Amino acid sequence: MGVTTRSLYGLRLVVYLMKKGGSATVKEVAENEDVPYRYMERIVQDMRKAGILSSRRGRGGGITLINPERITLKNIIQALDGKLVDLPCFSEDTSDCSRLMDCDARIIWLKLIEGIEEFCGSININNIIRRKNG
């Protein structure tokens, strides 16, 4: 498992918006979080498609969190990277692993994936930010 830059920046975006009351412009977030504007735009677009953000163009526009109290680390990673863990024996193309049907280690990897998904799903970003800020 590796966390990509997209997920790192996506988490920073969500935390920034939560601290700002849920809304800001893409430009503001990109500048304050030291992320290239075009890169942040692509992250925002993917998070919008996943239902984490909404956006409005024009004067008074910007990006807004949808249901900030329900956003988890798992939501962010899946929106930006797809899978939390990417192993050949769990890919959609089963030809990636020649031992797929008789691999005793596969169940161990499956348990790891389930544990990571459960853990990332339990990390509620809003709760952590609220606790930190008292």
57-108 pLDDT, tens digit per residue, is 877 779 999 999 999 999 999 999 887 777 766 666 556 667 767 778 878 8
Cα→Cα distances 126→9, 49, 90, 99, Å: 16, 20, 31, 42
Does some domain include residue 119? no
Domain count, the chain: 1
Does some domain include residue 117? no
**pTM reported for the whole predicted model:** 0.84
Share of the chain above pLDDT 90, in %: 56
Best CA proximity match to 54, nearest among 46, 45, 64 = 64
Mean pLDDT of 115-134: 86
Distance, CA of 22 to CA of 63 (rounded, Å): 8
Does some domain include residue 78? yes
Q: How many CA atoms lie within 13 A of 86 on its CB side?
A: 10
Query: 132 vs 21, which has greater pLDDT?
Result: 21
Best CA proximity match to 86, nearest among 75, 73, 97 = 97
Domain of 54?
5-84+125-132
Does some domain include residue 91? no
Residue 61: its pLDDT value, please? 79
CATH code assigned at 40: 1.10.10.10
Does some domain include residue 32? yes
